[in-house]
Amino acid sequence: MFLSAIIIYLAALVVVGSWKSRQVHTADDFLIANRALPARVLVFTLLATWIGSGSLFAGAGLGYRVGFPALWQSAGAWVGIALVYFIAPRVRRLAQYTVPDILELRYGPTARLLGALTTVMAYTTIAAYQFRAGGKLLELVAGIEPATGALMTAAFCVTYTALAGMLSIAYLDVGNGVMMVVSVVLAVVFLVSDGGGLATTFSSLQPEHVALFGELSPQAALALFFPTLFLLLGEANMYQKFFSAKSERAARLAVIGWIVGTIVVETLIDSVGVLGSVVVPGLSPEGSESVVINVALQVLPTGIGVLLVCGAAAIIVSTANSFLLTPATNLMRDVYQRFINPKVADRQLLFYTRLVVVVLGCVGYVIGSFFPSILAMALWAYTMYGAGITPALLGALVWPRIPRSAGVWSILVGMTTTLVWEIVGLRHSVDGVPEYPLGLETVYPALTLSILALVVVGLTVRPSTTDFPAPS
């Protein structure tokens, strides 16, 4: 029944997507929905894109193991979205296509190229762990071998993204967003009611599961908080969707709905994980990443369980779609069109972008097997993007006349520090747990050095003369 429900749900997505894809005639339609998305659509596509396997598997699994302190990871996004409220209209006013477009406006072509490279590495990894999560889901509901399930998930997401583009993805995410909100609300309501009410349910949890840090040290909690915060502040899907908004007002209104939806949904998903530690005890650290699906299959009434499984499928597919489309856009617009073939025809650009989606999907499927867990993949990708892109991007938006070299050095230092620190940590891993130099998680040196490079070079090098729009 659960597999049939997923198939029916995905078939409905294909029907809606195929109908909307008939309206895709130009590269603008495919990449930015012809800058026509209203606020109500933006809210759900932002929510559906952000809530992915990092929340469904990694976040809920962490909640199972440590309790509500797992929300430190989600809190980074909440703070980030609150800050984004003040820059969303300005981003829409720039009317670009990608984050590297903004980087070149302020820092020049080298920053554009480095920004595209960093985005492709980070976002292909994020798409990869959506495929891996799809494999976990299919293993649990149908007994399909995880690698085969991941391949099936990748094939579906790649095909859909290549056909649909932003126009279809955004409108489809309205349904995905509604599905995930309804399913997690019903799941938590049932678990609390079945546990004897709110007070009784909470009293059954371990004391450290309802503490501020619990079993986490402050350093470990902030190592969850900062990668999420800085990924969110520079998140390329978010900016691309702001570029797709029909107006600055629509972009700002969408952020209000987005922050409310994100706080509610991520808290409820983590709550399923925390309460799952009581109703489905004894899961291993690896098995805990599947706690939401285990709860759906073993604890919830069939109807609610089916909805939660379909909500999980919606979370995986919607996030994978967006994190395939954005790096494909970067490679085609920011590398091919900008540096190789500036006069490429619109239809040719559309065809090549679809082809690159397929290539990135294949790469993502392969790299998904190189990480010990979905949480490890999420933190690596968040740090790569958050340290490599976000400081330079925020500098471009809020620092008048910042020198070009400051942004270039910030991106380069953040990207390379992340790579080196992670490689060293993984080479000295113990039982799949990285052993980082000095005992510091990658986010600390990568983000610190990236910001230092931006500030030091920005204060010591002669400011740039640029026609970049002034902050307002």
* Residues 352-371, mean pLDDT to the nearest whole number: 90
Predicted local confidence at residue 430, as pLDDT: 67
Q: How far apart are CA 207 and CA 108, in angstroms?
A: 53
99-108, 131-140, 372-381: which is most confident: 131-140
Predicted local confidence at residue 373, as pLDDT: 79
Confidence band for 86, pLDDT divided at 50, 70 and 90: confident
3-class DSSP state of 127: helix
* Residues 327-352, mean pLDDT to the nearest whole number: 90
Predicted local confidence at residue 401, as pLDDT: 84
Does residue 312 or residue 45 have the better pLDDT?
312
The predicted-structure confidence for 259-296, as pLDDT tens digits, reads as follows 999 999 999 999 999 999 999 999 998 899 999 999 99
Question: Does residue 33 have a pLDDT over 80?
Answer: no
Lowest mean pLDDT among 212-221, 247-256, 351-360: 247-256
The predicted-structure confidence for 130-147, as pLDDT tens digits, reads as follows 999 999 999 999 999 999
* Mean pLDDT, the chain, integer: 87
* Residues 448-471, mean pLDDT to the nearest whole number: 79
Enter the CATH code of domain 2-369. Answer: 1.20.1730.10
Could you please report the per-residue DSSP string of 19-31? HHHTT--SHHHHH
3-class DSSP state of 267: helix
Q: How far apart are CA 44 and CA 177, in angstroms?
A: 5
Confidence band for 363, pLDDT divided at 50, 70 and 90: very high
Q: Note the pTM of the prediction, 2 decimals.
A: 0.82
Could you tell me the two tokens for 263? 């706080």
Share of the chain above pLDDT 70, in %: 90
Burial annotation 449-470 (CB, 10 A radius, 16+ → b, else e): bbbebbbebbeeeeebebebee
Give the residue extent of every domain in the chain: 2-369
* Residues 307-330, mean pLDDT to the nearest whole number: 88
459 alpha carbon, distance to own chain's centre: 33
